[in-house]
Amino acid sequence: MSVAPFIVIDGSSWLYRAFHALPRLTAPNGDPTGAIYGMGNMLRRLLKDFDPQRIAVVFDPPGKTFRHQRYPAYKAQRPPIPEELAAQFEPLCRLIDSMGLPRLQMSGFEADDVIATLSEQAAAQGLETLIVSGDKDLAQLVRPGVELLDTMKDVRLDEAGVAEKYGVAPRHIVDWLSLMGDKSDNVPGLPGIGPKTAAKWIREFGDLDTLILRADEVPGKAGETLRAHLDQLPLARELVIVRRDLDLPVALDELVRGVQDQESFSAICTELGFKRWREEIQLEPAATPTEGIRLAVRVVLAAADLAELKVVLESTDCFALDTETTDLDPQQADLVGLSFSTRAGEGWYLPVGHSYLGVPDQLTLEVVIRELGGILANSAIAKVGQHCKYDDHILRRHGLPVRGWTFDTMLESYVLNATATRHDMDSLAAFYLQRGTIKFEDVAGKGRKQLTFDQIDLAQAAPYAAEDAEVTLALHRHLWPRLQADTALQKVYEEIEQPLIGVLARIECRGVLIDSQQLHAASTEFASRMEDLARQAHELAGGEFNLNSPVQLKEILFERLELPVLRKTPKGQPSTAEDVLQELADKHELPQLILDWRGLAKLRSTYTERLPASVNSQTGRVHTSYHQAVAATGRLSSADPNLQNIPVRSVEGRRIRQAFIAPPGRVLISLDYSQI
């Protein structure tokens, strides 16, 4: 396997083993910490040994799963989770989060099912997976590219290792487990049949189905036992086989190790009394950004200034370009000014749309198009931008189409190291150049009194805008040589990320057509159903209350109806989270009504109400923004509005999808990009 495979940790298994393996440890306030300390040590060792980029820590959910519905006696003999262990789960989760490790927990399904689904998805993407667990049930997942690691015993199993340890190949683990049953999970098996006999039968007959068909051929008392309990084998197999097809709440590409939050990690270590861990944190002295470099700023207000700028731009083979606008929405924003830089310490600002009282005369956009349009459209002169897709939208809409967007510092940083820092200009300047920058709030103000850029005095606007271009050029000159030093990374940038800029810009510009009337009709229907659900909820609760208020819901569920408190929030209050309500729904009708009401409310606020409001008045379409530099693994994300997570499994979700339409004479085609 590769040096750094996709690591999937069976968190529940680790937690129980750590709890029973370590002596009782306590925090300064007396709370138990042994399981946290044990699991934390295992996590830190694992990260040191493998240095994974893709990783997930998976836990069992509270309450029952689909296996309990199939077999009510499933795990019925297990005692309740020891209070001393349960108390450690919440601080453990905070510790894991501070370490930058993604956590997964899915209501209704065990950790094994989530792990199986992740390994299946990883295999589909050609990723090698290492499942960290001592649970023999997960041996059924081992195959080429998927291995098991038991860190407590320092044993790593591939297909041959599974066969050697258990006597059967991974593909027969389910049959083997079905014959033996599992006392810890109360899975019915054959009385008196142990692992050796079960493995012998599988090797002799090939698989469980064949064994069942030829049960008469098995001699002795073992054969009598087999024949007497044949009817329970299908159930046992159903209980031990893991699900590999879950609709997980998070995409595989999002399960990426983040940077450890040193401040949070140190605070948690102090709280738990892990003094040595806190002392081991080696914080590199943060580079203190400078107060900014004093720039030579040229403001272009006269024709002579513009002519000089034109000569400068024509005489270079590469310049940085940035725009200043009135809005973050590239489909709505007005162009206020352009900034340029061709050398360190110098920047130009060309205002075209400032409108405050007393603003000096500015060159018209028509003059700028006539004088600079040819330069911007000349692909032989390379342009450098920071998130240049935005600038491309703005300039194209204002009659200044740009060719030669060769370099984008946001994407250069992203390709070089996707997780080193955020990829906005201010963060990149501080991280790579140790430079402080003028912030937008410094010139525009904050909150309700914040000005749009066209209202900002040129004395403040020009240095801010010119700095944007000059810093962008400096970042390019710092980042590009580092990309060139790695042929593979340079290829990713030049052949994937950079060409994609124009493709995404055209997709965003085209937009998508929706049937607003259909969405309005659905929204009205959802609202009516929500009223019915609220009315039923009020009747069950014995009075009106706000279904969206956790405080009121807590009072009704746990005080008025006296339902059991299944979990508490970090502040010690009873939780009314979705998974808690799902489990309480088995005990009372009200929680399910709340869940149904919440589901419809989310569909209305996210889709049926918001999408029609997002229609551009000029184009009649919805224009999303696709972000290339958000997911650390290269996956695109969609925002304002998000069009990537339209629900599909529910009737209501499919109804929303039907509102995405094609104009007359055309059709919509759905393509799975990752499969292509």
- Tens of pLDDT, residue by residue over 72-89, are 888 877 788 888 898 999
Q: Where are the beta strands (DSSP E) in 519-674?
A: 625-627, 637-639, 660-661
What's the confidence (pLDDT) of residue 366? 96
- How do residues 568-577 score in pLDDT, each as one tens digit? 766 678 888 7
Tell me the three state secondary structure of residue 268.
Answer: helix
pLDDT band (50, 70, 90) for residue 18? confident
- Residues 643 and 653: their CA atoms lie apart, in Å, by 13
Name the percent of the chain lying above pLDDT 90: 49
CB 557 within 8 A of CB 563: yes
Of 101-105, 183-187, 477-481, the poorest mean pLDDT is in 183-187
Q: Which residue has the tokens 């972000």?
A: 627
What's the confidence (pLDDT) of residue 407? 97
With a CB cutoff of 8 Å and minimum separation 6, the contacts of 147 are 1, 5, 129, 130, 131, 156, 157, 158, 161
Of 256-270, 280-294, 518-532, the poorest mean pLDDT is in 280-294
Over the range 207-219, which residues count as b (16 or more CB within 10 Å of their CB) and which as e? Answer: ebeebbeebeebe
Of 21-35, 345-359, 456-470, the poorest mean pLDDT is in 21-35
More confident residue, 135 or 569: 135
pLDDT band (50, 70, 90) for residue 281? low
Whether residue 283 is predicted with pLDDT greater than 50 in this model: the reply is: no
CA–CA distances in Å: residue 351 to residues 67, 371, 379, 638: 67, 14, 24, 31
Whether residue 439 is predicted with pLDDT greater than 60 in this model: the reply is: yes
- Residues 223 and 192: their CA atoms lie apart, in Å, by 11
Report how far Cα 175 is from the mean position of its chain's Cα atoms. Answer: 36
- How do residues 341-374 score in pLDDT, each as one tens digit? 999 999 999 999 999 999 999 999 999 999 999 9
Q: Which residue has the tokens 């830190």?
A: 44
Of 51-65, 184-198, 318-332, 636-650, the poorest mean pLDDT is in 636-650
CB-CB neighbours of 675 under 10 Å: 6
Of 147-161, 198-212, 274-288, 584-598, the poorest mean pLDDT is in 274-288
* DSSP code for 28: T
Average pLDDT of the residues in 481-510: 92
Give strand pairing partners of 103. 57
For 337-387, where are the alpha helices, taking DSSP H only?
Answer: 365-376
Average pLDDT of the residues in 56-74: 88
pLDDT band (50, 70, 90) for residue 641? confident
- How do residues 115-125 score in pLDDT, each as one tens digit? 999 999 998 88
Give pTM, 2 decimals.
0.58
What's the confidence (pLDDT) of residue 632? 59
Whether residue 593 is predicted with pLDDT greater than 70 in this model: the reply is: yes
Whether residue 659 is predicted with pLDDT greater than 90 in this model: the reply is: yes
What's the confidence (pLDDT) of residue 1? 41
More confident residue, 569 or 60: 60
pLDDT band (50, 70, 90) for residue 289? very low
* 641 cis-preceded (ω within 30 degrees of 0): yes
Most confident of 338-352, 434-448, 633-647: 338-352
What's the confidence (pLDDT) of residue 291? 47
- 83-90 — which CB contacts under 8 Å span 24+ positions? 84/19, 84/24, 84/32, 85/15, 85/16, 85/19, 85/32, 85/35, 87/31, 87/32, 88/15, 88/19, 88/31, 88/32, 88/33, 88/34, 88/35, 88/36, 89/15, 90/568, 90/570
pLDDT band (50, 70, 90) for residue 284? very low
Whether residue 288 is predicted with pLDDT greater than 80 in this model: the reply is: no
Tell me the three state secondary structure of residue 187.
Answer: strand
Average pLDDT of the chain to the nearest whole number: 88
Whether residue 674 is predicted with pLDDT greater than 70 in this model: the reply is: no
Of 40-49, 123-132, 334-343, 561-570, the poorest mean pLDDT is in 561-570
- Residues 194 and 196: their CA atoms lie apart, in Å, by 6
Whether residue 5 is predicted with pLDDT greater than 80 in this model: the reply is: yes
